[in-house]
Amino acid sequence: MIEAVLIFLGLAILFGLLLGYASIRFKVEGNPMAEQIDKILPQTQCGQCGFPGCKPYAEALANGETEVNLCIPGGNEVMIKISEITGLEPKEMDEAAAEAKPKETAYINEDLCIGCVLCIKECPVDAILGATKLMHTVIQQECTGCEKCVPVCPVDCIEMLPENVTPKNWKWPEPVVVEKASK
Amino acid sequence: MSLLRPVIEKIAKIYPMAKRYLHAFHGGVFPQYNKELSANQPVREQIIPTKLILPLQQQVGLPAEVLVKVGESVKKNQLLAQSPKDPKKALVVPVHAPTSGVIRAIEPATLAHPSGLQDMAIILEPDGKNTTIDNALKVSKQTIETPDQLKDILFHAGIIGMGGAGFPTYAKIPSRPGQIHTLLINGAECEPFITCDDLLMQTHAYEIVQGALITANALGSSKIICGIESNKPTAIKAMTNAAKDTIVEIKVVESVYPMGGQKQLTLELTGIEMPHKVHAVDIGLLMMNVATFAAIYRAVMFGEPLTSRMVTVSGLGLNKPFNTIAMIGTPFSELAQAAEPKTKLNYPLIMGGPMMGVKVKSNDVPISKTTNCVLANPPEPVDMQMPCIRCGQCMDACPVNLLPQQMYFYAQAHEYDKVEKLNVADCIECGCCSFVCPSHIPLVQYYRHSKSEIREIHAEQKAVDLAKERHEFKMARIEREKAEREARLKAKKEAVKKQASAPKDPTTETKKPSKGAASAAAVAARAAAAKRAAKAKTEDSPVTEKAIPSARLKAIEAAKKATQQSAQQDFEQGSEKTTDPKVAARNAAMLAAKKRAQAKKAAVSSDESTASENEAMPKKDPKQAAKQAAILAAQKRAKAKAASSGTGSETKPDPKKSAQQTAQQTAQQTAQQTAQQTAQQTAQQTPEEATMQTAETTIVDLTVATPETDASRKEAARKATKEAAKLAAKKRADEARAAKQQAQIEAQALAEQTGDIDPIKAKREKAMQAARERAALRKAQKNQNSDDPEST
């Protein structure tokens, strides 16, 4: 009897020490969940979720402070992934966000641009080039399509256009299943 | 193998797939070849079409820049478009005129691409004369010894891989001599219907072999192997003849689709199975199509750019299929029409063979450097697609050893990451799986779609990473700019402080007109601040303060406050008890004011005039003080005059009245008026200005008064001056004491107030205190100055 108690006591102490050591030795820095969520967010930095960028939203999600369905550019797909990571209940997206739309980028009508630099300040990724009282233009490769520059333009010269299809980015269409033989 | 061959051939009669044991690579299929349609026809004379469409962009790389204008006449082999910058980096392939003619337009034209998209192209209308520029590439016939020499010629000739991929040949060739030990010639041509390489080998065997020898010589390769499928006996014969007494070795390979695939033929010829994601060049092998070698020969020997190629025009819908050396840019429809179609060509032509070829969106698309076949097969009824029965035939047929079934399932479910993990990127899109599928599933279409999707996912991921990086950079930049701005402000403030501490010497301060000093100080401060800001930009100084209003403004404010405080002339004591540094400063100012008042009082009392007794009252403001002082001076003068003239003056309680009366009596009106005016003026102006003005007017006053004064007055004045000097000395001593006291208070206050606040803040506070103190001191001195002349 006493031997059994001693053995179990010894084991308990041993495992306690092991666990204690492991918790110090293998301590995880930061919040890995926030990193994970940040990776799946579309990084448009559009702020439509109400946070000043994708990372703050990811951090808020990791801390369970916000809803999973706020990422509008990400759509349903991202919402489901977020709920998988966080373990939060998936929620319906707003109707506007539910339907996926093709990627659009901002174009500045350079004839109308007055060079007010307002859009430059707004752009979260510095994709707009220009200077005061000089024409502005968008670096297409770097535009995330966040649409932040559109409302700030005082002369309304920015429009969102879908990407041009070239032989370089053209996609093979998905085969359609032929239901009936046309014999 | 040779022993097994008869056995396998016998088994193949019962089980056709037994033929797969005869070749080295996995799988493969044995389709109906239909090569005899065009293979037995002689090579047809070159067709000069009504127009040539020359797209500026080839399959790989960026578009070239047009060098000609619309309406310009060009000769055959003339350079039409080239990259202006370093073209080798962007893989820009130059465009040459395939025949002489006139440039009709430079406009978008439909490309020979499955998408049917349009791109810019040069439209050339041939004049039929075929005027040629000989040796357009200006080659000398010397032998080519280095890869770079060869690369240069190949680049200017616009030679690209003519087998199908269309990768620019100059970019494919390694620059290091000897890197390629074995050169492989691809003459397998496994696709059904296509016979262009067969015909080329039959008719241009010498060119092909010589082209290979030139390349091998330049690259330092010691071995050349040419693989030809067994179903081209004429070509094998021609090539063997041409390769006699050279290092070129002709190898006959099995007729199996897709023997012409680069990896498959490499394995067949060398026994080397190419590893995943490794280029042939990395393992010392280089394979090129027979047509490419022929083009290399023509470019190197005759300086001819690549402007035409052998094309098979064949198909079940044509009466007279043929092969021809077609100009690059010839529309498909013109070639098909020349082959006498059985029915009207209202169905899309196929670019390439039936296995891998794509239906073009418009029959007017041009022949490109990679187009080997124009196929006119009338549309067949589409077989009904059935569900996958998991028979595994696709897996057996796959020449790359992939798992077509698995990839198909994942592609259908849009799980592209899993498709990617199954190495869909290695798929050569040969179409064997679709060919063998009993359920007629267009498997290749699924893989092509998956590849596009995967490419897009990767591009998106890249864009996301870029956006993230740029966003983080922007945030960091905003942060840094904020820090810099604060550092600049801090530097500016420090500069002002430094400048303010410079005129600490009381003698210089009193002598200087304070307004001038202030403006000079401002200028100096600004200059110093700019200097500091420039310096602060480079070094990342820690930020300690919130944005503060300009330090200069603050200094001015402090000065003003000090003025007001001194003007109040509050005699209240108890400054020692104050803890607030502000209060301490105020107290210091008060002390100074008090001292001044005392000094004045003393000066007045020391004056021999009796009237001065009751006027040394605490004054409400400097205005009054100045007025009083002026009156006093006038009084004094008047008294002195009266004394000299022998009239006794009565002591009056109201000094003003008495002074006026005395002045009237002694007819010293001018002096009095001047004094009063001076006083009033002084009072109205700011204290700083007052100092100057008072000084001036006093001088004026004195000069005016001088002729009228007598010895006794002079004596009195001297006495007063003496007294004032004494007082000033005393005052200075007092001030020093006060400053000391104040410093003590400050220290106390700081100790109490700041406690745990960081030293920088304490320092700042101290500096501000010092500034305030100085302001107060200056003010006090000024007042003293204004007192001094008046008392004389």
CB of A144 within 8 Å of a chain B CB? The answer is: yes
Task: Give residue B559's pLDDT band: very low, low, confident or very high (50, 70, 90).
Answer: low
Q: Do B468 and A54 touch (CB under 8 A)?
A: yes
CB of A125 within 8 Å of a chain B CB? The answer is: yes
Task: Give residue A39's pLDDT band: very low, low, confident or very high (50, 70, 90).
Answer: confident
Residues of chain A contacting residue B442, judged by C-beta atoms under 8 Å apart: 175
Residue B724 has pLDDT above 80, yes or no: no
Residue B660 has pLDDT above 90, yes or no: no
Do B86 and B203 sit in the same domain of this protein?
A: yes
Distance of alpha carbon B205 from alpha carbon B688, whole angstroms: 107
In a domain, A114, yes or no: yes
Do B743 and B664 sit in the same domain of this protein?
A: yes
Do B480 and B602 sit in the same domain of this protein?
A: no
pLDDT at B82: 84
For residue A120, give the chain B residue with the closest CA: B474
Residue B517 has pLDDT above 60, yes or no: no
Contact B97, B408 (CB under 8 A): no
- In the predicted model, what is the mean pLDDT of residues B618-627? 52
- Top-ranked range on mean pLDDT: pick from A153-167, B597-611, B759-773: A153-167
pLDDT at A32: 82
CA distance A80 to chain B (A): 15
Dihedral Cα A45, A47, A53, A58, nearest 10 deg: -110
CA distance A154 to chain B (A): 23
In a domain, B134, yes or no: yes
Of the two residues B555 and A169, the one the predictor is more confident about is A169
Q: Do A125 and B115 touch (CB under 8 A)?
A: no
Residue where one domain finishes, among candidates A98, A120, A135: A98
In a domain, B65, yes or no: yes
Task: Give residue B566's pLDDT band: very low, low, confident or very high (50, 70, 90).
Answer: low
Residues of chain B contacting residue A53, judged by C-beta atoms under 8 Å apart: 471, 475
Do A93 and A40 sit in the same domain of this protein?
A: yes
Taking only Cα atoms into account, the Rg of chain A, rounded to an integer number of angstroms, comes to: 26
pLDDT at A89: 83
- In the predicted model, what is the mean pLDDT of residues B719-738? 70
- In the predicted model, what is the mean pLDDT of residues B640-647? 51
Domain range for residue B779? Answer: 574-646+655-791
Do B527 and B639 sit in the same domain of this protein?
A: no
CB of A105 within 8 Å of a chain B CB? The answer is: no
Distance of alpha carbon B654 from alpha carbon B668, whole angstroms: 19
Give helix B233-242 / helix B205-219 axis angle, nearest 10°. Answer: 50
Do A69 and A120 sit in the same domain of this protein?
A: no
Do B539 and B593 sit in the same domain of this protein?
A: no
pLDDT at B717: 61
pLDDT over 70 percentage in chain B: 65
Q: Per-residue pLDDT tens for B135-181?
A: 888 887 677 888 888 888 888 898 998 887 788 888 888 888 888 99
CB of A129 within 8 Å of a chain B CB? The answer is: no
Q: Do A170 and B117 touch (CB under 8 A)?
A: yes
- The pair of three-digit structure tokens given for residue B727, joined into one six-digit string: 């007082």
For residue B465, give the chain A residue with the closest CA: A43
Do A115 and A151 sit in the same domain of this protein?
A: yes
In a domain, B554, yes or no: no
Task: Give residue A177's pLDDT band: very low, low, confident or very high (50, 70, 90).
Answer: confident
Of the two residues A128 and B540, the one the predictor is more confident about is A128
CA distance B165 to chain A (A): 14
Residue where one domain finishes, among candidates B499, B533, B548: B548
Distance of alpha carbon B294 from alpha carbon B78, whole angstroms: 20
Do B681 and B727 sit in the same domain of this protein?
A: yes
Domain range for residue A117? Answer: 104-162
Do B198 and B283 sit in the same domain of this protein?
A: yes
pLDDT at B635: 66
In a domain, B363, yes or no: no
Closest CA to B633 of B665, B657, B607: B607
Residue where one domain finishes, among candidates A61, A82, A98: A98
Please name the amino acid found at residue B74: V
Do A76 and A94 sit in the same domain of this protein?
A: yes
Please name the amino acid found at residue B425: A
CA distance A87 to chain B (A): 22
Residues of chain B contacting residue A42, judged by C-beta atoms under 8 Å apart: 464
User: Which of B370, B427, B471, B472 is the mutation pick for testing A, counting most A CBs within 10 A?
Assistant: B471
Do B534 and B624 sit in the same domain of this protein?
A: no
pLDDT at B544: 39
Phi-psi region of B569 (alpha: psi -120 to 50; beta: other; left: phi over 0): left
Number of domains forming the structure of chain A: 2
Do B629 and B720 sit in the same domain of this protein?
A: yes
Residues of chain A contacting residue B119, judged by C-beta atoms under 8 Å apart: 166-167
What is the DSSP secondary-structure string of B436-470? H-TT---HHHHHHHHHHHHHHHHHHHHHHHHHHHH
| Phi, psi torsion values for B310, nearest 5 degrees | -75, 130
CA distance A124 to chain B (A): 6
Residues of chain A contacting residue B451, judged by C-beta atoms under 8 Å apart: 172
pLDDT at B638: 58
b/e for A18-32, b at 16 or more Cβ within 10 A?
eeeeeeeeeeeeeee
Residue B81 has pLDDT above 80, yes or no: yes
For residue B387, give the chain A residue with the closest CA: A177
Q: To the nearest whole number, what is the mean pLDDT of chain B?
A: 77
User: Which of A172, A179, A180 is the mutation pick for testing B, counting most B CBs within 10 A?
Assistant: A172
pLDDT over 90 percentage in chain B: 34
Do A78 and A109 sit in the same domain of this protein?
A: no
pLDDT at B539: 46
Of B12-16, B102-106, B183-187, B402-406, the range with the lowest mean pLDDT is: B12-16
CB of A180 within 8 Å of a chain B CB? The answer is: yes
Distance of alpha carbon B250 from alpha carbon B720, whole angstroms: 129
- Strand ranges (E), chain A: 104-108, 128-129, 137-138, 158-162
Residues of chain B contacting residue A43, judged by C-beta atoms under 8 Å apart: 464-465, 467-468, 471
For residue A182, give the chain B residue with the closest CA: B381
Choose among B452, B459, B473: nearest Cβ to A172.
B452
Of the two residues B546 and B204, the one the predictor is more confident about is B204
- In the predicted model, what is the mean pLDDT of residues A59-77? 84
pLDDT at B491: 94
- The pair of three-digit structure tokens given for residue B647, joined into one six-digit string: 């009239």
Residues of chain A contacting residue B384, judged by C-beta atoms under 8 Å apart: 178-181
In a domain, A26, yes or no: no
Residues of chain B contacting residue A125, judged by C-beta atoms under 8 Å apart: 466-467, 470-471, 474
Q: Do you find a cis peptide bond into B258, omega within 30 degrees of 0?
A: yes
In a domain, B265, yes or no: yes
pLDDT over 70 percentage in chain A: 93
CB of A164 within 8 Å of a chain B CB? The answer is: no
CB of A99 within 8 Å of a chain B CB? The answer is: no
In a domain, A153, yes or no: yes
pLDDT at B676: 56
Place of tokens 């990372």: A55
Task: Compute how many other C-beta atoms are within 10 angstroms of the C-beta atom of residue B664.
Answer: 12
Residue B603 has pLDDT above 80, yes or no: no
CA distance A141 to chain B (A): 8
Do A68 and A125 sit in the same domain of this protein?
A: no
pLDDT at A55: 86
Number of domains forming the structure of chain B: 3
Task: Compute how many other C-beta atoms are within 10 angstroms of the C-beta atom of residue B601.
Answer: 16
Closest CA to B702 of B788, B616, B783: B788
User: Which of A105, A125, A140 is the mutation pick for testing B, counting most B CBs within 10 A?
Assistant: A125
Residue B251 has pLDDT above 80, yes or no: yes
pLDDT at B575: 41
- In the predicted model, what is the mean pLDDT of residues B406-433? 93
Q: Is A4 exposed, middle or buried (0-12, 13-18, 19+ CB in 10 A)?
A: exposed
Task: Give residue B655's pLDDT band: very low, low, confident or very high (50, 70, 90).
Answer: very low
Do A59 and A79 sit in the same domain of this protein?
A: yes
Closest CA to B207 of B243, B231, B174, B234: B243
Do B597 and B667 sit in the same domain of this protein?
A: yes
Q: Do B456 and A44 touch (CB under 8 A)?
A: no
CA distance B87 to chain A (A): 19
Residue where one domain finishes, among candidates A98, A116, A141: A98
In a domain, B556, yes or no: no
Q: Do A181 and B381 touch (CB under 8 A)?
A: yes
- In the predicted model, what is the mean pLDDT of residues A53-67? 86
pLDDT at A63: 85
A and B: number of Cβ contacts within 8 A: 82
Of B513-517, B747-751, B763-767, B768-772, the range with the lowest mean pLDDT is: B513-517
Choose among B113, B382, B448: nearest Cβ to A182.
B382
Residues of chain B contacting residue A126, judged by C-beta atoms under 8 Å apart: 470, 473-474
Q: Residue B126 pairs with which residues in a beta bridge?
A: B101
Please name the amino acid found at residue B503: P
Residues of chain B contacting residue A127, judged by C-beta atoms under 8 Å apart: 470
Distance of alpha carbon A169 from alpha carbon B459, whole angstroms: 10
Residues of chain B contacting residue A169, judged by C-beta atoms under 8 Å apart: 456, 459
Q: Per-residue pLDDT tens for A84-129?
A: 888 888 887 776 655 667 788 899 998 889 999 999 988 988 899 9
Of B266-280, B294-308, B574-588, B716-730, the range with the lowest mean pLDDT is: B574-588
Do B518 and B583 sit in the same domain of this protein?
A: no
Residue where one domain finishes, among candidates B244, B279, B305: B305
Residue B772, C-beta contacts closer than 8 angstroms, at least 6 positions apart: B558, B561, B562, B581, B582, B585, B588
Q: Per-residue pLDDT tens for B208-224?
A: 999 999 999 999 899 99
Helix and strand element counts for chain B (H, E): 26, 17
Q: To the nearest whole number, what is the mean pLDDT of chain A?
A: 85
CA distance A111 to chain B (A): 25
Do B440 and B587 sit in the same domain of this protein?
A: no
- The pair of three-digit structure tokens given for residue B587, joined into one six-digit string: 């107290």
- In the predicted model, what is the mean pLDDT of residues A63-78? 84
Task: Give residue B116's pLDDT band: very low, low, confident or very high (50, 70, 90).
Answer: confident
Alpha carbon separation from B617 to B569, B601, B634, B784 (Å, rounded): 11, 8, 18, 17
Do A111 and A88 sit in the same domain of this protein?
A: no
Contact B269, B184 (CB under 8 A): yes
In a domain, A179, yes or no: no
Residue B310 has pLDDT above 90, yes or no: yes
For residue B114, give the chain A residue with the closest CA: A172
pLDDT at B405: 93
Task: Give residue B479's pLDDT band: very low, low, confident or very high (50, 70, 90).
Answer: very high
Distance of alpha carbon B477 from alpha carbon B740, whole angstroms: 47
Q: Do A142 and B385 touch (CB under 8 A)?
A: no
Of B193-197, B533-537, B698-702, the range with the lowest mean pLDDT is: B698-702
Q: Do A174 and B57 touch (CB under 8 A)?
A: no
A48: domain CATH number? 1.10.15.40
Residues of chain B contacting residue A165, judged by C-beta atoms under 8 Å apart: 115, 117
Q: Do A167 and B115 touch (CB under 8 A)?
A: yes
Contact B584, B578 (CB under 8 A): yes
In a domain, B138, yes or no: yes
Of A38-47, B492-501, B714-723, the range with the lowest mean pLDDT is: B714-723
Give helix B669-684 / helix B655-666 axis angle, nearest 10°. Answer: 140
pLDDT at B438: 93
- In the predicted model, what is the mean pLDDT of residues B492-517? 67
- The pair of three-digit structure tokens given for residue B226, joined into one six-digit string: 């040419």
A114: domain CATH number? 3.30.70.20
CA distance A13 to chain B (A): 45
In a domain, B22, yes or no: no
CB of A132 within 8 Å of a chain B CB? The answer is: no
pLDDT at B382: 78
In a domain, A82, yes or no: yes
Residues of chain A contacting residue B445, judged by C-beta atoms under 8 Å apart: 172, 174-175
